[in-house]
Structure 1
Amino acid sequence: MKAKLLLPENIIYFLALFGAVFTGFSISFDFTSVGIPLAAGKFPTYLGLLCSFITAVVLTIDVFRNDIPGKFWWTFGFLISGGITGIFYLRSLQKYFLRS
């Protein structure tokens, strides 16, 4: 690995997965129908978006520091869906460093 990630890889996996699951889950389901107040139902959405934002920032910095091929496409993917694209990037990270 040329430059290390700003956060440990297992924490970024957790943040990416947490962000993807909670953002998708809370957007897909209406919590007010089961008696949860609207403000409390928005909390998982905000938490998921925060985790996706942290994942996108850390991985975007990593893409540009290590000069990964297709860095603009990776950045676009992180900005559109931080958690899901982040998981795919982390899984293929070692492949990029074997090439260089």
Structure 2
Amino acid sequence: MMNTKLLIPAEKLYFIALFGVVFSVMTVSFSASAFGLPSVVGNLLTGLALLCSFVTVVVLIIDVFKNNVPGKYLWTLGFLFTAGITGLFYLRSRSRYSKSS
């Protein structure tokens, strides 16, 4: 069991991280106008995706340091460089990392 709880419940954080990853990749790879959406919607989705990635990174960095997870500096770098992707990986196995500390 983890020493402390997440600032946001894990189920909601999964959704936030997944939203950030999916729409960050989609808005960089595809134009919103290709789907018949105005460019304002594409800009809004990009902004929301960045906000979701930022929230995910902040919550998980706080969690890693509060729980004194081994390799916390490497986790922090991973969160900062890849945001939601590393966040999803960490959330999936979060309880296992605290047992080794």
Shorter-chain TM-score above 0.5: yes
Given residue 57 of structure 1, which amino acid in structure 2 is its aligned partner? Answer: V
Identity of aligned residues (%): 53
Offset, 1:93? 0.8
Q: Aligned equivalents of 1:36 and 1:15: distance in 2? A: 23
C-alpha RMSD of matched pairs (Å): 1.3
Instruction: Give the direction of change, closer, same or farther, for the CA distance of 1:87–1:34 in structure 2 (3 Å limit).
Output: closer
Q: Aligned equivalents of 2:34 and 2:92: distance in 1? A: 38
Q: Which runs of 5+ in 2 are unaligned?
A: none
Tell me the TM-score normalised to structure 1 length: 0.91
Q: Who is 2:5 aligned against?
A: 4
| Post-superposition CA distance 1:14-60 (Å, at most 9, x none) | 10101000110111001234443322211111111100100000000
Tell me the TM-score normalised to structure 2 length: 0.91
3-state DSSP of counterpart to 1:60: helix
Given residue 46 of structure 1, which amino acid in structure 2 is its aligned partner? Answer: G
Given residue 53 of structure 1, which amino acid in structure 2 is its aligned partner? Answer: F
Bigger mean CA deviation after superposition, 4-13 or 27-36 = 27-36
Q: Who is 2:26 aligned against?
A: 25
